[in-house]
Structure 1
Amino acid sequence: MTAARIAALLGAFRPGDQALGASELARRTGLPKSSVHRLTGHLVTQGLLERDGTAVRLGLRLFEIGQLAGRERGLVDAARPYLADLREATRNTVHLAVLEGTEVVYLDIVRGPDAPALPSRIGGRFPAHATAVGKAILAHSPASVLDTVLAAGLTRVGPRTITAPGLLRRQLTRIRDEGVAYEREESGVGVTCAASPVLGATGRARAAISISGWSNRVRVERVSPAVRTAALALSRALP
Protein backbone atom coordinates (compact mmCIF):
# COMPACT_ATOMS: atom_id res chain seq x y z
CA MET A 1 0.00 0.00 0.00
CA THR A 2 1.52 3.30 -1.12
CA ALA A 3 0.33 5.28 1.92
CA ALA A 4 1.97 2.79 4.28
CA ARG A 5 5.23 2.97 2.33
CA ILE A 6 5.23 6.77 2.44
CA ALA A 7 4.55 6.68 6.16
CA ALA A 8 7.44 4.24 6.61
CA LEU A 9 9.81 6.50 4.69
CA LEU A 10 8.91 9.62 6.66
CA GLY A 11 8.97 7.67 9.91
CA ALA A 12 12.46 6.36 9.16
CA PHE A 13 13.99 9.70 10.19
CA ARG A 14 15.12 9.77 13.83
CA PRO A 15 16.21 12.55 16.19
CA GLY A 16 19.62 13.82 15.09
CA ASP A 17 19.28 12.66 11.48
CA GLN A 18 20.15 15.29 8.92
CA ALA A 19 19.92 13.54 5.57
CA LEU A 20 19.56 9.88 4.63
CA GLY A 21 20.55 8.11 1.45
CA ALA A 22 18.50 5.57 -0.45
CA SER A 23 20.47 2.61 0.95
CA GLU A 24 19.90 3.67 4.57
CA LEU A 25 16.21 4.36 3.94
CA ALA A 26 15.84 0.96 2.34
CA ARG A 27 17.56 -0.67 5.32
CA ARG A 28 15.38 1.11 7.87
CA THR A 29 12.09 0.57 6.06
CA GLY A 30 12.65 -2.80 4.44
CA LEU A 31 11.58 -1.35 1.09
CA PRO A 32 13.40 -2.10 -2.18
CA LYS A 33 15.81 0.65 -3.22
CA SER A 34 13.84 1.08 -6.46
CA SER A 35 10.71 1.88 -4.43
CA VAL A 36 12.68 4.24 -2.20
CA HIS A 37 13.98 6.15 -5.22
CA ARG A 38 10.51 6.40 -6.77
CA LEU A 39 8.68 7.44 -3.60
CA THR A 40 11.29 9.94 -2.43
CA GLY A 41 11.08 11.57 -5.86
CA HIS A 42 7.35 12.11 -5.39
CA LEU A 43 7.84 13.39 -1.83
CA VAL A 44 10.51 15.85 -2.97
CA THR A 45 8.12 17.17 -5.62
CA GLN A 46 5.50 17.78 -2.93
CA GLY A 47 7.96 19.48 -0.59
CA LEU A 48 7.74 16.79 2.08
CA LEU A 49 11.38 15.87 1.48
CA GLU A 50 14.27 17.99 0.23
CA ARG A 51 17.35 16.98 -1.73
CA ASP A 52 20.72 17.14 0.03
CA GLY A 53 23.23 15.96 -2.55
CA THR A 54 22.42 12.31 -3.22
CA ALA A 55 20.46 12.05 0.05
CA VAL A 56 17.17 13.54 1.26
CA ARG A 57 16.06 15.29 4.43
CA LEU A 58 12.68 16.17 5.86
CA GLY A 59 11.12 19.14 4.08
CA LEU A 60 9.76 22.39 5.45
CA ARG A 61 6.29 21.44 4.22
CA LEU A 62 6.16 18.76 6.91
CA PHE A 63 6.74 21.39 9.58
CA GLU A 64 3.98 23.56 8.14
CA ILE A 65 1.54 20.65 8.15
CA GLY A 66 2.57 19.69 11.67
CA GLN A 67 1.77 23.18 12.92
CA LEU A 68 -1.73 22.91 11.46
CA ALA A 69 -2.31 19.37 12.66
CA GLY A 70 -1.61 19.97 16.35
CA ARG A 71 -4.89 18.80 17.90
CA GLU A 72 -3.65 19.90 21.30
CA ARG A 73 -2.33 23.31 20.22
CA GLY A 74 -4.78 25.06 22.56
CA LEU A 75 -3.62 22.87 25.42
CA VAL A 76 0.04 23.67 24.78
CA ASP A 77 -0.61 27.41 24.59
CA ALA A 78 -2.69 27.37 27.77
CA ALA A 79 -0.10 25.31 29.64
CA ARG A 80 3.00 27.36 28.84
CA PRO A 81 2.67 29.94 31.65
CA TYR A 82 2.24 27.14 34.20
CA LEU A 83 5.19 25.19 32.83
CA ALA A 84 7.38 28.31 32.89
CA ASP A 85 6.42 29.05 36.51
CA LEU A 86 7.25 25.50 37.58
CA ARG A 87 10.59 25.63 35.85
CA GLU A 88 11.51 28.94 37.50
CA ALA A 89 10.41 27.71 40.92
CA THR A 90 12.29 24.40 40.77
CA ARG A 91 15.03 24.93 38.13
CA ASN A 92 14.21 21.45 36.87
CA THR A 93 12.74 20.19 33.62
CA VAL A 94 8.97 20.40 33.21
CA HIS A 95 6.99 18.21 30.79
CA LEU A 96 3.51 18.35 29.30
CA ALA A 97 2.38 15.04 27.85
CA VAL A 98 -0.70 13.23 26.54
CA LEU A 99 -1.46 9.55 26.12
CA GLU A 100 -1.66 7.96 22.71
CA GLY A 101 -2.19 4.23 22.69
CA THR A 102 0.22 2.73 25.19
CA GLU A 103 2.70 5.61 25.06
CA VAL A 104 2.92 9.19 26.22
CA VAL A 105 3.69 11.88 23.66
CA TYR A 106 5.50 14.98 24.91
CA LEU A 107 3.75 18.13 23.70
CA ASP A 108 6.04 20.62 25.41
CA ILE A 109 9.23 20.56 27.46
CA VAL A 110 10.79 23.43 29.42
CA ARG A 111 14.29 22.37 30.39
CA GLY A 112 15.77 23.47 33.70
CA PRO A 113 19.38 24.60 34.09
CA ASP A 114 20.05 22.11 36.88
CA ALA A 115 18.21 19.18 35.31
CA PRO A 116 19.67 15.97 33.87
CA ALA A 117 19.97 15.43 30.12
CA LEU A 118 16.74 13.52 29.66
CA PRO A 119 15.92 11.41 26.58
CA SER A 120 12.53 13.10 26.21
CA ARG A 121 11.89 15.49 23.32
CA ILE A 122 8.91 17.38 21.99
CA GLY A 123 6.97 14.95 19.82
CA GLY A 124 8.84 12.04 21.35
CA ARG A 125 7.21 8.97 22.85
CA PHE A 126 7.82 6.83 25.90
CA PRO A 127 6.01 3.80 27.37
CA ALA A 128 3.27 5.16 29.63
CA HIS A 129 3.86 2.67 32.47
CA ALA A 130 7.50 3.79 32.82
CA THR A 131 6.81 7.50 33.33
CA ALA A 132 5.18 9.62 36.00
CA VAL A 133 3.11 11.49 33.41
CA GLY A 134 1.92 8.20 31.96
CA LYS A 135 0.89 6.82 35.33
CA ALA A 136 -0.88 10.08 36.23
CA ILE A 137 -2.92 9.82 33.05
CA LEU A 138 -3.62 6.09 33.37
CA ALA A 139 -4.87 6.58 36.91
CA HIS A 140 -7.57 8.92 35.60
CA SER A 141 -8.48 7.04 32.42
CA PRO A 142 -11.16 4.41 31.67
CA ALA A 143 -10.32 0.83 32.67
CA SER A 144 -10.16 -0.14 28.99
CA VAL A 145 -7.16 2.15 28.51
CA LEU A 146 -5.20 0.40 31.25
CA ASP A 147 -6.26 -2.98 29.85
CA THR A 148 -4.69 -2.02 26.52
CA VAL A 149 -1.43 -1.04 28.21
CA LEU A 150 -1.29 -4.28 30.20
CA ALA A 151 -2.11 -6.37 27.12
CA ALA A 152 0.85 -4.81 25.29
CA GLY A 153 3.20 -5.89 28.08
CA LEU A 154 5.07 -3.82 30.68
CA THR A 155 8.48 -3.62 29.05
CA ARG A 156 11.45 -2.81 31.27
CA VAL A 157 12.93 0.57 30.32
CA GLY A 158 14.90 1.67 33.38
CA PRO A 159 16.40 -0.18 36.37
CA ARG A 160 13.18 0.15 38.41
CA THR A 161 10.47 -0.01 35.72
CA ILE A 162 7.26 -1.57 36.98
CA THR A 163 6.74 -4.81 35.07
CA ALA A 164 4.15 -6.48 37.31
CA PRO A 165 0.51 -5.66 36.42
CA GLY A 166 -0.65 -6.03 40.03
CA LEU A 167 1.93 -3.54 41.30
CA LEU A 168 1.01 -1.04 38.60
CA ARG A 169 -2.68 -1.34 39.45
CA ARG A 170 -1.95 -0.69 43.14
CA GLN A 171 0.13 2.38 42.29
CA LEU A 172 -2.63 3.76 40.07
CA THR A 173 -5.15 3.38 42.88
CA ARG A 174 -2.92 5.44 45.16
CA ILE A 175 -2.37 8.03 42.44
CA ARG A 176 -6.14 8.42 42.02
CA ASP A 177 -6.43 9.09 45.74
CA GLU A 178 -3.48 11.47 46.05
CA GLY A 179 -3.53 13.18 42.65
CA VAL A 180 0.24 12.79 42.21
CA ALA A 181 2.31 10.10 40.47
CA TYR A 182 5.98 9.41 41.15
CA GLU A 183 8.68 7.80 39.06
CA ARG A 184 11.99 6.78 40.58
CA GLU A 185 14.48 5.49 38.02
CA GLU A 186 11.72 3.77 36.08
CA SER A 187 12.49 5.57 32.82
CA GLY A 188 16.25 5.88 33.26
CA VAL A 189 19.15 5.70 35.69
CA GLY A 190 19.27 8.55 38.19
CA VAL A 191 16.04 10.22 37.07
CA THR A 192 13.09 10.95 39.31
CA CYS A 193 9.78 12.67 38.52
CA ALA A 194 6.54 13.87 40.08
CA ALA A 195 3.48 14.32 37.87
CA SER A 196 -0.15 15.32 38.19
CA PRO A 197 -3.02 14.91 35.72
CA VAL A 198 -4.73 17.71 33.81
CA LEU A 199 -8.39 16.74 34.05
CA GLY A 200 -11.29 17.46 31.74
CA ALA A 201 -14.85 18.24 32.79
CA THR A 202 -15.66 14.53 33.12
CA GLY A 203 -12.79 13.91 35.51
CA ARG A 204 -10.76 11.99 32.96
CA ALA A 205 -7.18 12.96 32.21
CA ARG A 206 -6.51 15.09 29.16
CA ALA A 207 -2.79 15.36 29.83
CA ALA A 208 -0.26 15.46 32.66
CA ILE A 209 2.43 17.82 33.91
CA SER A 210 5.66 16.63 35.53
CA ILE A 211 8.86 17.89 37.12
CA SER A 212 11.96 15.78 36.46
CA GLY A 213 15.42 15.92 38.02
CA TRP A 214 18.34 13.96 39.42
CA SER A 215 17.26 11.48 42.08
CA ASN A 216 20.13 12.57 44.37
CA ARG A 217 19.19 16.25 44.10
CA VAL A 218 15.41 16.46 43.86
CA ARG A 219 13.04 15.38 46.60
CA VAL A 220 9.94 14.78 44.55
CA GLU A 221 7.70 14.86 47.62
CA ARG A 222 8.71 18.50 48.11
CA VAL A 223 7.97 19.62 44.55
CA SER A 224 4.82 17.54 44.12
CA PRO A 225 2.49 20.17 45.69
CA ALA A 226 3.65 22.70 43.08
CA VAL A 227 3.01 20.19 40.28
CA ARG A 228 -0.41 19.37 41.68
CA THR A 229 -1.34 23.05 41.99
CA ALA A 230 -0.24 23.81 38.42
CA ALA A 231 -2.17 20.85 37.00
CA LEU A 232 -5.34 21.81 38.90
CA ALA A 233 -5.06 25.43 37.75
CA LEU A 234 -4.58 24.38 34.15
CA SER A 235 -7.52 21.98 34.40
CA ARG A 236 -9.75 24.87 35.50
CA ALA A 237 -8.43 27.17 32.78
CA LEU A 238 -9.20 24.79 29.91
CA PRO A 239 -12.57 25.00 28.14
Structure 2
Amino acid sequence: MTATASAGETAGGPAGGTAGGTTLSRAVRVLEAFGPDRAALSVAEIARRSGVSMATTSRMVAELVRLGLLERGADRRVRAGSRLRELASRAAPAGLREAAAPFMEDLHAVVGHHVHLGVLEDARLLVVERLSAPDAVVDASRFGGRLPAHASSGGLVLLAHAPAEIRERVLAGRRERFTAATVTDPARLRALLADVRRGGFAFCRGHVHPRAAGIAAPVRDARGRVVAALTAVVPNDAGARAQVSALRVAARGVSRALGARPA
Protein backbone atom coordinates (compact mmCIF):
# COMPACT_ATOMS: atom_id res chain seq x y z
CA MET A 1 0.00 0.00 0.00
CA THR A 2 1.67 3.20 -1.07
CA ALA A 3 2.25 6.06 1.35
CA THR A 4 2.03 8.62 -1.43
CA ALA A 5 -1.18 10.67 -1.28
CA SER A 6 -2.88 12.06 -4.34
CA ALA A 7 -2.46 15.75 -5.05
CA GLY A 8 -5.95 16.55 -3.78
CA GLU A 9 -5.36 14.78 -0.48
CA THR A 10 -1.97 16.37 0.06
CA ALA A 11 -3.44 19.79 -0.49
CA GLY A 12 -6.05 19.39 2.20
CA GLY A 13 -8.30 16.53 1.14
CA PRO A 14 -10.02 14.91 -1.79
CA ALA A 15 -12.97 16.40 -3.58
CA GLY A 16 -15.68 16.82 -1.00
CA GLY A 17 -13.41 18.48 1.54
CA THR A 18 -12.44 15.44 3.65
CA ALA A 19 -8.92 15.70 4.99
CA GLY A 20 -6.50 13.16 3.53
CA GLY A 21 -4.90 11.93 6.74
CA THR A 22 -2.26 9.21 6.94
CA THR A 23 -2.17 6.11 4.78
CA LEU A 24 -3.49 4.08 7.72
CA SER A 25 -6.35 6.49 8.42
CA ARG A 26 -7.37 6.39 4.76
CA ALA A 27 -7.30 2.57 4.83
CA VAL A 28 -9.57 2.61 7.87
CA ARG A 29 -11.98 4.95 6.07
CA VAL A 30 -12.03 2.58 3.11
CA LEU A 31 -12.95 -0.34 5.40
CA GLU A 32 -15.54 1.76 7.23
CA ALA A 33 -17.28 2.54 3.92
CA PHE A 34 -19.00 -0.83 4.29
CA GLY A 35 -22.03 -0.61 6.53
CA PRO A 36 -25.34 -2.26 7.37
CA ASP A 37 -26.88 -0.76 4.24
CA ARG A 38 -24.19 -1.95 1.81
CA ALA A 39 -22.18 -5.15 2.30
CA ALA A 40 -20.86 -5.03 -1.30
CA LEU A 41 -19.61 -1.88 -3.00
CA SER A 42 -17.91 -0.83 -6.21
CA VAL A 43 -14.58 1.00 -5.98
CA ALA A 44 -16.34 4.22 -6.99
CA GLU A 45 -18.89 3.79 -4.18
CA ILE A 46 -16.11 3.12 -1.67
CA ALA A 47 -14.32 6.30 -2.77
CA ARG A 48 -17.50 8.35 -2.44
CA ARG A 49 -18.46 6.93 0.96
CA SER A 50 -14.95 7.12 2.43
CA GLY A 51 -13.99 10.55 1.05
CA VAL A 52 -10.74 9.09 -0.29
CA SER A 53 -9.75 9.94 -3.86
CA MET A 54 -10.62 7.43 -6.57
CA ALA A 55 -6.99 6.74 -7.45
CA THR A 56 -5.98 6.13 -3.83
CA THR A 57 -9.07 4.04 -3.16
CA SER A 58 -8.32 1.84 -6.17
CA ARG A 59 -4.75 1.23 -4.97
CA MET A 60 -5.86 0.57 -1.39
CA VAL A 61 -8.63 -1.82 -2.40
CA ALA A 62 -6.16 -3.80 -4.52
CA GLU A 63 -3.75 -4.05 -1.57
CA LEU A 64 -6.50 -4.93 0.92
CA VAL A 65 -7.74 -7.64 -1.45
CA ARG A 66 -4.19 -9.01 -1.71
CA LEU A 67 -4.00 -9.12 2.11
CA GLY A 68 -7.36 -10.91 2.38
CA LEU A 69 -9.04 -8.05 4.25
CA LEU A 70 -11.35 -7.47 1.28
CA GLU A 71 -12.60 -9.77 -1.47
CA ARG A 72 -13.60 -8.95 -5.04
CA GLY A 73 -16.50 -10.95 -6.46
CA ALA A 74 -17.18 -12.04 -10.03
CA ASP A 75 -19.32 -8.90 -10.35
CA ARG A 76 -16.20 -6.82 -9.47
CA ARG A 77 -17.90 -5.54 -6.34
CA VAL A 78 -15.87 -5.58 -3.14
CA ARG A 79 -16.85 -7.30 0.12
CA ALA A 80 -15.32 -7.99 3.53
CA GLY A 81 -12.64 -10.67 3.24
CA SER A 82 -12.03 -13.81 5.28
CA ARG A 83 -9.02 -12.30 7.04
CA LEU A 84 -11.05 -9.27 8.15
CA ARG A 85 -13.72 -11.62 9.54
CA GLU A 86 -11.01 -13.60 11.34
CA LEU A 87 -9.62 -10.43 12.92
CA ALA A 88 -13.13 -9.40 13.97
CA SER A 89 -13.67 -12.75 15.67
CA ARG A 90 -10.56 -12.16 17.79
CA ALA A 91 -12.30 -9.19 19.40
CA ALA A 92 -14.53 -11.63 21.30
CA PRO A 93 -13.46 -12.58 24.85
CA ALA A 94 -11.49 -15.83 25.03
CA GLY A 95 -13.74 -18.87 24.75
CA LEU A 96 -16.90 -16.88 24.01
CA ARG A 97 -17.55 -18.13 20.49
CA GLU A 98 -16.82 -21.73 21.44
CA ALA A 99 -19.12 -21.55 24.48
CA ALA A 100 -21.88 -19.93 22.45
CA ALA A 101 -21.77 -22.23 19.40
CA PRO A 102 -24.07 -25.09 20.58
CA PHE A 103 -26.63 -22.69 22.05
CA MET A 104 -26.63 -20.57 18.92
CA GLU A 105 -27.24 -23.67 16.80
CA ASP A 106 -30.14 -24.74 19.01
CA LEU A 107 -31.64 -21.24 18.96
CA HIS A 108 -31.22 -21.02 15.20
CA ALA A 109 -33.12 -24.30 14.80
CA VAL A 110 -35.98 -22.80 16.85
CA VAL A 111 -36.25 -19.35 15.23
CA GLY A 112 -35.25 -20.37 11.71
CA HIS A 113 -33.90 -16.94 10.84
CA HIS A 114 -30.80 -15.05 12.02
CA VAL A 115 -28.89 -15.56 15.25
CA HIS A 116 -25.79 -13.61 16.09
CA LEU A 117 -23.37 -12.94 18.90
CA GLY A 118 -22.05 -9.43 19.43
CA VAL A 119 -19.69 -7.49 21.65
CA LEU A 120 -19.41 -3.76 22.29
CA GLU A 121 -16.63 -1.98 20.45
CA ASP A 122 -16.40 1.80 20.49
CA ALA A 123 -20.13 2.23 21.22
CA ARG A 124 -21.02 -0.09 18.33
CA LEU A 125 -22.23 -3.66 18.19
CA LEU A 126 -19.53 -5.82 16.60
CA VAL A 127 -20.87 -9.15 15.30
CA VAL A 128 -18.35 -11.91 16.14
CA GLU A 129 -20.48 -14.91 15.13
CA ARG A 130 -23.57 -15.31 12.97
CA LEU A 131 -25.91 -18.04 11.77
CA SER A 132 -28.46 -17.45 9.04
CA ALA A 133 -30.66 -19.17 6.43
CA PRO A 134 -31.21 -18.49 2.71
CA ASP A 135 -34.87 -17.50 3.14
CA ALA A 136 -34.45 -15.62 6.43
CA VAL A 137 -35.89 -12.16 7.03
CA VAL A 138 -33.75 -9.16 6.08
CA ASP A 139 -30.92 -8.53 8.56
CA ALA A 140 -28.59 -5.53 8.48
CA SER A 141 -25.89 -7.25 10.54
CA ARG A 142 -23.13 -9.40 9.11
CA PHE A 143 -20.15 -11.32 10.50
CA GLY A 144 -17.45 -8.80 11.38
CA GLY A 145 -19.89 -5.95 10.76
CA ARG A 146 -20.87 -3.16 13.10
CA LEU A 147 -24.15 -1.47 13.98
CA PRO A 148 -24.69 1.62 16.14
CA ALA A 149 -25.45 0.38 19.65
CA HIS A 150 -28.52 2.60 20.07
CA ALA A 151 -30.28 1.11 17.02
CA SER A 152 -29.88 -2.65 17.46
CA SER A 153 -31.33 -4.94 20.12
CA GLY A 154 -27.92 -6.45 20.89
CA GLY A 155 -26.35 -3.02 21.03
CA LEU A 156 -29.02 -1.82 23.46
CA VAL A 157 -28.33 -4.77 25.76
CA LEU A 158 -24.61 -4.06 25.74
CA LEU A 159 -25.11 -0.31 26.11
CA ALA A 160 -27.52 -0.84 29.02
CA HIS A 161 -24.81 -2.73 30.92
CA ALA A 162 -21.84 -0.65 29.75
CA PRO A 163 -19.95 1.78 31.98
CA ALA A 164 -21.88 5.02 32.52
CA GLU A 165 -19.36 7.10 30.57
CA ILE A 166 -19.99 5.05 27.42
CA ARG A 167 -23.76 5.45 27.74
CA GLU A 168 -23.42 9.19 28.30
CA ARG A 169 -21.18 9.53 25.26
CA VAL A 170 -23.80 7.83 23.10
CA LEU A 171 -26.61 9.89 24.62
CA ALA A 172 -24.67 13.10 23.98
CA GLY A 173 -23.54 12.22 20.44
CA ARG A 174 -25.19 11.94 17.04
CA ARG A 175 -27.55 8.97 16.71
CA GLU A 176 -28.39 7.68 13.26
CA ARG A 177 -32.05 6.98 12.44
CA PHE A 178 -32.63 3.86 10.31
CA THR A 179 -36.44 3.79 10.46
CA ALA A 180 -39.26 5.71 12.11
CA ALA A 181 -39.01 3.24 15.02
CA THR A 182 -35.31 3.89 15.75
CA VAL A 183 -35.01 5.53 19.17
CA THR A 184 -32.81 8.62 18.85
CA ASP A 185 -34.31 10.99 21.44
CA PRO A 186 -31.93 11.04 24.46
CA ALA A 187 -34.69 10.89 27.09
CA ARG A 188 -36.48 8.01 25.36
CA LEU A 189 -33.21 6.17 24.83
CA ARG A 190 -32.23 6.57 28.49
CA ALA A 191 -35.62 5.18 29.56
CA LEU A 192 -35.30 2.29 27.08
CA LEU A 193 -31.88 1.34 28.45
CA ALA A 194 -33.30 1.33 31.98
CA ASP A 195 -36.11 -0.97 30.81
CA VAL A 196 -33.56 -3.32 29.22
CA ARG A 197 -31.57 -3.51 32.47
CA ARG A 198 -34.71 -4.22 34.51
CA GLY A 199 -36.30 -6.66 32.09
CA GLY A 200 -33.19 -8.59 31.15
CA PHE A 201 -33.71 -8.38 27.37
CA ALA A 202 -34.31 -5.98 24.47
CA PHE A 203 -37.19 -6.36 22.03
CA CYS A 204 -36.95 -3.99 19.08
CA ARG A 205 -39.57 -4.04 16.35
CA GLY A 206 -38.44 -2.38 13.13
CA HIS A 207 -35.60 -0.36 14.70
CA VAL A 208 -33.14 -1.16 11.90
CA HIS A 209 -35.46 -2.45 9.16
CA PRO A 210 -39.28 -2.26 9.13
CA ARG A 211 -39.66 -5.96 8.30
CA ALA A 212 -37.37 -7.24 11.07
CA ALA A 213 -37.59 -7.51 14.85
CA GLY A 214 -34.49 -7.89 17.00
CA ILE A 215 -34.51 -9.74 20.32
CA ALA A 216 -31.38 -9.78 22.47
CA ALA A 217 -30.30 -10.88 25.94
CA PRO A 218 -27.05 -10.44 27.86
CA VAL A 219 -24.31 -13.05 28.12
CA ARG A 220 -22.37 -12.94 31.38
CA ASP A 221 -18.98 -14.32 32.38
CA ALA A 222 -17.91 -16.02 35.62
CA ARG A 223 -17.64 -12.62 37.34
CA GLY A 224 -21.17 -11.66 36.36
CA ARG A 225 -20.07 -9.07 33.81
CA VAL A 226 -22.03 -8.68 30.60
CA VAL A 227 -19.47 -9.59 27.93
CA ALA A 228 -21.73 -10.13 24.91
CA ALA A 229 -25.27 -10.05 23.61
CA LEU A 230 -27.05 -12.97 21.96
CA THR A 231 -29.52 -11.77 19.32
CA ALA A 232 -32.24 -13.29 17.16
CA VAL A 233 -33.53 -11.35 14.16
CA VAL A 234 -36.99 -12.56 13.13
CA PRO A 235 -39.90 -11.27 11.03
CA ASN A 236 -41.61 -8.24 12.54
CA ASP A 237 -45.01 -9.86 12.91
CA ALA A 238 -47.39 -11.09 15.59
CA GLY A 239 -45.19 -14.10 16.35
CA ALA A 240 -41.99 -12.17 17.03
CA ARG A 241 -42.43 -11.84 20.79
CA ALA A 242 -42.98 -15.59 21.14
CA GLN A 243 -39.22 -16.04 20.50
CA VAL A 244 -38.18 -14.08 23.60
CA SER A 245 -38.23 -17.09 25.93
CA ALA A 246 -36.07 -19.25 23.66
CA LEU A 247 -33.60 -16.40 23.22
CA ARG A 248 -33.28 -15.80 26.96
CA VAL A 249 -32.84 -19.53 27.69
CA ALA A 250 -30.05 -19.73 25.11
CA ALA A 251 -28.31 -16.63 26.51
CA ARG A 252 -28.42 -18.10 30.02
CA GLY A 253 -26.96 -21.33 28.62
CA VAL A 254 -24.02 -19.45 27.10
CA SER A 255 -23.51 -17.61 30.39
CA ARG A 256 -23.42 -20.89 32.34
CA ALA A 257 -20.92 -22.29 29.87
CA LEU A 258 -18.75 -19.26 30.65
CA GLY A 259 -19.00 -19.97 34.37
CA ALA A 260 -21.71 -17.51 35.33
CA ARG A 261 -23.85 -18.47 38.32
CA PRO A 262 -27.62 -18.84 37.85
CA ALA A 263 -29.49 -15.65 38.66
1:235 to 251, 255, 262: 255
2:132 corresponds to: 111
Once residues 38 and 93 of structure 1 are traced to their aligned partners in structure 2, the CA distance between those partners, rounded to angstroms, is 35
Partners in 1 of 2:211 and 2:45 — Cα distance?
34
Find out whether 1:226 has 2:246 as its counterpart.
yes
AA paired with 1:122? F
- Evaluate the alpha carbon distance shift between residue 64 and residue 193 of structure 1 in structure 2; reply closer, same or farther with a 3 A threshold: closer
* 1:209 aligned onto 2:233: no
The answer to whether the 8 A contact 2:153-2:231 is kept is yes
2:10 matches 1:15: no
| Cross-structure match for 1:145 | 166
TM-score normalized by the length of structure 1:
0.79
Q: 1:124 aligns with which of 145, 151, 162?
A: 145
Q: Which amino acid aligns with 2:40?
A: G
One-letter amino acid matched to 1:173: A
Q: Which SS does the other structure have where 2:197 is aligned?
A: helix
Give the corresponding residue for 2:183: 162
Deviation of 1:104 (Å): 0.9
RMSD: 3.3
For residues 34 and 175 of structure 1, the distance between their equivalents in structure 2, rounded to whole angstroms, comes to 46
Counterpart residue type for residue 177 of structure 1: R
Partner SS, residue 95 of structure 2 = helix
Name the CA distance, whole Å, in 1 between partners of 2:67 and 2:240. Answer: 50
Per-residue deviation, 1:235: 1.4
**Structure 2 gap segments, 5+ residues each:** 1-21
More helix by share: 1
* Letter in structure 1 aligned against 2:23: T
Determine if contact 2:127/2:142 at 8 Å carries over to the other structure. Answer: yes
AA aligned opposite 1:223: Q
Equivalence map 1:55-66=2 (5 Å): 63-64=82-83, 66=85
For residues 75-133 of structure 1, give each alpha carbon's deviation from its aligned partner in whole angstroms, at most 9, with x where no partner exists: 22221111110111222321211111222122222225663122221122212111111
Instruction: Report deviation, 1:196.
Output: 0.4
Is the contact between residue 159 and residue 188 of structure 1 (CA under 8 Å) also seen in structure 2? Answer: no
Aligned equivalent of 1:86: 107
1:138 Cα offset (Å): 1.6
| Partner Cα distance (1:114, 1:38) in 2 | 36
User: How far has the Cα of 1:28 moved from its partner?
Assistant: 4.5
Q: Distance in 2 between matches of 1:24 and 1:154?
A: 23
Distance in 2 between residues matched to 1:205 and 1:168, nearest whole Å: 19
Identity within the alignment, %: 35
Structure 2 vs 1, CA of residues 81 and 31 (structure 1 numbering), >3 Å: closer, same or farther?
same
Match for residue 86 of structure 2 among 67, 91, 98: 67
Question: Unpaired runs of 5+ in structure 1?
Answer: none
